[in-house]
Amino acid sequence: MRRTGMLTGAGISLLGPDLDALPPLLAAEELDPGQREVLDRVLAGGDALVHGAPGSGRTALALTAAELSGEGAVLLAPRRAAAGRLRDALAVHGSGAVRAMTPPALAHALVRADAVHRGLGEPTLVTGAEQDALLAELIAQRERWHLEVDPGARSLPGFRTELRDLLTRAGELGIAPADLEALGLAHGRPAWRDAAALQRDYLGVLDLEASAALDAGPRLDSGALVRRAARLLGAAQAPPPFRVVVVDDAQDLTAAGIDLVAALARTGARVLVLTCPDAAVDTFRGALPDAGERLRALLPRPVGESVLDGTHAQVEGLTAAVDALRARLPLAGSPALVRRPRAAAPGALVALQAQDPLDEARLIGSALRDLHHREGVPYDEMAVVARSGAAVADLADLLSRTGVPVRVPHRPQPLRDVPAIADLLSVLEIGLAPPEAPLAPRRAVELLRGPFGDADALRLRRIRRLLLGAHRAAHPDADATSEELLARALVEEEPAGLPAADARDRAAAPVHRLRDMIRAVRAHRDQDAQQVLWHAWDAAGLAEGWRRAALGAAGDVDGARARMAASRLDALLELFAAAERLTDRRPGAGALDLVEQVRARSVVEDTLAPAAAARGRLEVLTPAQLAGEHRDTVVLARVQEGAWPDLRLRSTLFGAAELSLHAGARPGAEIPRAAEAVRALQREQVLADELRLAVAALARARRRVLVTAVRDESSEPSALFDALADLAAKDPDPWIDPETLRADPGPAPDARRLVAALRRRLRTEDPQQARDAALALEALGRAGAPGTDPAHWYHQEPSSTGPLHDEETPIRLSPSALERAVDCPQSWLMERAGGTRSGGPAQLIGTALHHLAQVHPRGPEEGEDLLAALHGLLRAVPGTETWSGRRRVRRAEDAAQLLAAHLRQAAEPLAVEAPFEVELGRVRLRGSIDRIEGDATGLRVVDLKTGRAAKSAAKAEEDLQLAAYQAAVREGALAEQLGEDAPERLNGAQLLYVGTGGRKAAVRTQTALDRAEDPAWFDDLVQQVSREVSGAAVTARVNAHCSRCAVRSSCPLQPEGDQL
């Protein structure tokens, strides 16, 4: 494979285009007779319209005709990537004088040349992000609407996306605001009338922006730019800009592109148009599959029409399969001759069904790896095609897990949605805020756990404990949470208790990194946006680490870290480019201006930056991304019902597709007016477009195709899969054996799957097979395969067999931990080591209710608003604005009212949130009692519960937390608060449930320990627990909490952890 590129001093290979992937440029004598006939006509000065099936040699003819036409020729391709490949192909063969361009690029060159000639400002293209931001402002300002829709919906990105589609389609069709208004009235579409008004305002703003600067030229979107170029060509008195115009893949031209080609022809240029309506892939962007027929009617001279019927790119079996699928499509202006079969019987096509998406990825990975190793087909010569970008991303992730080297085209997303960019913008905001401005604890935690902090929950817990300890030592009476102290540590100059960046195994490094970034922003706050952004990024010190990760680090088995780091760096480069554009357009713009601009844009900024793909990787693409290229092997994946074909109607709110039907119809075409008939026609078009995508994908394969789909409880193969499976069934000798593919470990397995299979064979009853497996594992280990060292397998000797606690060491437990240890000692141990889940909204609401009970031990006083206090405490609870969140808040309000009613009539509180520590044998119990109430004659322990379900009376008698609290009072741990005679006055304990939704709080009672049927039951249980949690092993025990256990996946008693 021929490659271009260079090696930099940093050891980074800069890749150029893959020369073998470029389309061939053939000499005239290498063309087939049909191609030479067309070439002779064009070189003799005639116009030609060429129809050809996929793989019939249209692009080869286009390149040869353009090259032989020499200087003064232009080669047009509808897509930028295709134009780039054609340009590279011409340049490699020394034909750089021929220009290869897209219609918008050509239009920009023509309009710019005219502006320079006339001494006017150069035109600028309105990007999609700029258009979206402008439309958002216009929508917000507009008060009168004909379209009845919820006002809140108008602020949604989806609303603007449909509006942008309609305005783009109107611009492509040359529809002015008045024309759009008339169409809306004629067809009863109020949305078109609203769009007409917005289009009028939109064009007015662009004109105003263009006239605001002395040297500014017109601001145009793509469709308007192409139409302006067509008008200039019609009015110009200058010589024609080109002698020959060659149009490849004309089926993907828009209406504006068709008019531009016709305008070039009217200047006297000869025109060669090559088209294949069956392979159109850009119809969702307004492409017209019948562009060839439309051009034939618009060209000023008679056009010679030809059909190419050769087969240059595929084996015969695949050609027959492509032709069979094409036969289901409308001709779209092509002659019937183009459908003549070119091969006898389908072949080289296999269809497989998988049990689930991961199984599908394994089948694809096994087939392609086998092909790579058995027949030496490079991964560059294979492609996996999925219908949508989301399916592409999911498939690429699953394939990488199976050990296949994967390459995915960069799929940009709005910068504001990229976590690394969102966090960097937050750092800019914090650094530019006044120094005394507080930082919300929740925001601080999000930054520390984000890409720049990269701290896990355990590290944050350690940092919070250090900060809280130092704060309590310095300010014993101050009331501050560890979360608040963590937030202060990011913005304060000298936070107490924060270890140095290089101390304590760099535990506080995430905090110091973010502190450095915030300080850098503060130090350069008066500079422009680009400089402030650079200093913030430079202070992070992550450039080299992310670069190494993006290039692939050791241990990154499936490349997930590399892809994540690469996507972060790509997004950062886009952000710096946006900052550069901002400072160029608005000199002196600050960092806050950049933050506002990025957050306001929900559409991706376009980029013309060149890019090169890494070699030796399997590409996962959409049909449009693969269009114009060829691969040895192509996989059509996820051919599911509802996904491919996707028969949902597009743009149902603003009706961009319907506008194309009415305004873009060819003369004489009859378009129905009834709504149902129009929708039926649209569905026919959508189905045809989906089949065209399948035809285009099939046609990219030279030798073999694999089609896959998933069949499970929620998914099933589509009718398209069934049609392709019927074609595949006609091949008597398929290139894949499904049984071999599904075998364990299958043909050419990845290293991890092979190692797993060999390890299973170690347990076989055949000693020779076990010995062979052991020798193979040893060889794989020497080669560096992971998982071959028995010392790292499960079920090996433990790292320590000593007890968890020495006999002299006390066992520290809280009442809740005691209860957990009784239920399941293993779960207690794992949760103690960090296996607990973070608190959710229910836990935060419970904490708020406990706080109210502590602050108002006798209930709220007259005039006190307990609900207002509750709402203040719930501000930090996430999701309260959602439907489920509002329901949780209402339940919390009901619970607060029940709590207030109960406290007003409850006995006198003797202690609230009373801390205690007591030793029961080896166990040292430490905790806090919610409430102790009573008088000089008796007292009772009360434990407040906020859950929705109350325990039964029998279960309450066995409640371990209540028993622990009673034991603390019995042992005199609260004598200072309750008196020395507290143990004698203890009358038992109660569970107080305020969250059950009843009319009053539910109360469950526990008898005093010394009056129980077995007075020693709790002490005996504590001693049993001390033995179970202090030995050399712990027991996993099935209990009522298993279904919601945080460490269920590590439990050998559960299906998720049975491998342990």
pLDDT, tens only, 509-564: 888 899 999 999 999 988 988 999 999 999 999 988 888 888 776 555 556 787 78
- Based on the fold, state whether residues 116 and 128 are members of the same structural domain: no
Domain boundary among 704, 738, 772: 738
Residue 997 gets which letter from DSSP? -
Per-residue pLDDT at 553: 62
Which of 11-15, 33-37, 380-384 bottoms out in mean pLDDT, i.e. has the lowest? 11-15
Is 706 a member of any domain? Answer: yes
Q: What percent of the chain has pLDDT over 90?
A: 42
* pLDDT digits 0-9 by tens, 300-358: 999 999 999 888 878 999 999 999 999 999 998 889 899 888 888 888 999 999 999 99
Q: Contact at 8 Å (CB) between 352 and 706?
A: yes
Residue 748 gets which letter from DSSP? S
Q: What's the whole-number mean pLDDT along residues 618-641?
A: 93
Is 554 a member of any domain? Answer: yes
Q: Contact at 8 Å (CB) between 876 and 900?
A: no
pTM for this entry? 0.74
Considering its fold, how many domains does the chain have in total? 6
Token output for 1058: 């049975």
Alpha helices in 586-655 (DSSP H): 591-600, 623-626
402 band by pLDDT with thresholds 50, 70 and 90? confident
Which of 57-71, 749-763, 916-930 bottoms out in mean pLDDT, i.e. has the lowest? 749-763
Which of 282-291, 880-889, 1049-1058 bottoms out in mean pLDDT, i.e. has the lowest? 1049-1058
Q: What's the whole-number mean pLDDT along residues 268-287?
A: 92
Per-residue pLDDT at 612: 59
Annotated ligand binding at 450? The verdict is no
Q: How far apart are CA 319 and CA 312, in angstroms?
A: 10
- Based on the fold, state whether residues 203 and 128 are members of the same structural domain: yes
Annotated ligand binding at 481? The verdict is no
Annotated ligand binding at 55? The verdict is yes
Per-residue pLDDT at 349: 94
Q: What's the whole-number mean pLDDT along residues 785-792?
A: 82
Q: Contact at 8 Å (CB) between 88 and 77?
A: no
In the predicted structure, residue 39 carries a pLDDT above the cut 90:
yes
Report the alpha-carbon angle 494-446-410, nearest 5. Answer: 125
Annotated ligand binding at 946? The verdict is no
List of residues 6+ apart from 581 with CB closer than 8 A: none
Is 825 a member of any domain? Answer: no
Which of 271-285, 328-342, 861-875 bottoms out in mean pLDDT, i.e. has the lowest? 861-875
- Based on the fold, state whether residues 303 and 375 are members of the same structural domain: no
247 band by pLDDT with thresholds 50, 70 and 90? very high
In the predicted structure, residue 609 carries a pLDDT above the cut 60:
no
Report CA-CA distances (Å) from 475 to 479, 495, 861.
9, 13, 30
Per-residue pLDDT at 837: 65
- Based on the fold, state whether residues 856 and 788 are members of the same structural domain: no
CATH code for the domain of 699: 3.40.50.300
* Backbone CA torsion sign across 84, 86, 92, 96: negative
Alpha helices in 433-528 (DSSP H): 441-449, 457-474, 482-491, 509-523
Instruction: Give Cα 1051 to chain centroid, integer Å.
Output: 31
Annotated ligand binding at 118? The verdict is no
16 band by pLDDT with thresholds 50, 70 and 90? low
Per-residue pLDDT at 845: 87
Expressed as residue numbers, the domain containing 589 is 415-600
Which of 9-23, 678-692, 860-874 bottoms out in mean pLDDT, i.e. has the lowest? 9-23
- Based on the fold, state whether residues 476 and 561 are members of the same structural domain: yes
Annotated ligand binding at 218? The verdict is no
- Based on the fold, state whether residues 105 and 53 are members of the same structural domain: yes
Bridge partners, 50 (sequence order): 274, 306
Q: Contact at 8 Å (CB) between 652 and 293?
A: no
The closest alpha carbon to 219, from 390, 264, 228, belongs to 228
Q: How far apart are CA 326 and CA 688, in angstroms?
A: 10
Q: At what angle do helices 767-782 and 751-761 cross, to 10 degrees?
A: 150
Is 746 a member of any domain? Answer: no
Per-residue pLDDT at 561: 80
Q: How far apart are CA 396 and CA 558, in angstroms?
A: 11
Is 611 a member of any domain? Answer: no
- Based on the fold, state whether residues 522 and 634 are members of the same structural domain: no
Domain boundary among 540, 566, 600: 600
Q: How far apart are CA 1059 and CA 405, in angstroms?
A: 28
Is 999 a member of any domain? Answer: yes
In the predicted structure, residue 9 carries a pLDDT above the cut 60:
no
Q: What percent of the chain has pLDDT over 70?
A: 94
The closest alpha carbon to 618, from 383, 928, 887, 867, belongs to 383
Residue 745: is the preceding peptide bond cis (ω within 30°)?
yes
Is 1038 a member of any domain? Answer: no
CATH code for the domain of 864: 3.90.320
Per-residue pLDDT at 345: 85
- Per 3-state DSSP, the chain is made up of helix, strand and coil in percentages (nearest 5) of 50, 10, 35
Per-residue pLDDT at 58: 93
Per-residue pLDDT at 311: 87
Per-residue pLDDT at 880: 72
Where do we find the tokens 């706080």? 851
839 band by pLDDT with thresholds 50, 70 and 90? low
In the predicted structure, residue 807 carries a pLDDT above the cut 80:
no
Segment (H or E) for 383:
strand 382-385
Report CA-CA distances (Å) from 729 to 92, 343, 350, 744.
43, 17, 8, 25
Mean pLDDT, all residues of the chain = 87
Looking only at the bridges linking them, the beta strands covering 923-935 and 938-945 are antiparallel
In the predicted structure, residue 48 carries a pLDDT above the cut 90:
yes
Is 824 a member of any domain? Answer: no
Annotated ligand binding at 1049? The verdict is no
Token output for 932: 């102790």
* pLDDT digits 0-9 by tens, 901-917: 999 889 999 999 999 99
- Based on the fold, state whether residues 111 and 132 are members of the same structural domain: no
In the predicted structure, residue 251 carries a pLDDT above the cut 90:
yes
Instruction: Give Cα 973 to chain centroid, integer Å.
Output: 55
- Based on the fold, state whether residues 892 and 785 are members of the same structural domain: no
> Which range among 688-702, 829-843, 885-899 has the greatest average pLDDT?
688-702
Where do we find the tokens 């470990």? 745
Bridge partners, 734 (sequence order): none
Q: What's the whole-number mean pLDDT along residues 826-837?
A: 76
Annotated ligand binding at 58? The verdict is yes
- Based on the fold, state whether residues 98 and 136 are members of the same structural domain: no
The closest alpha carbon to 303, from 276, 260, 270, 275, belongs to 270
- Based on the fold, state whether residues 422 and 471 are members of the same structural domain: yes
Query: Which of the two residues, 444 and 1054, has the higher pLDDT score?
Result: 444
Token output for 389: 């970008």
Q: How far apart are CA 663 and CA 1025, in angstroms?
A: 80
Residue 834 gets which letter from DSSP? I
- Based on the fold, state whether residues 685 and 726 are members of the same structural domain: yes
Residue 717 gets which letter from DSSP? B
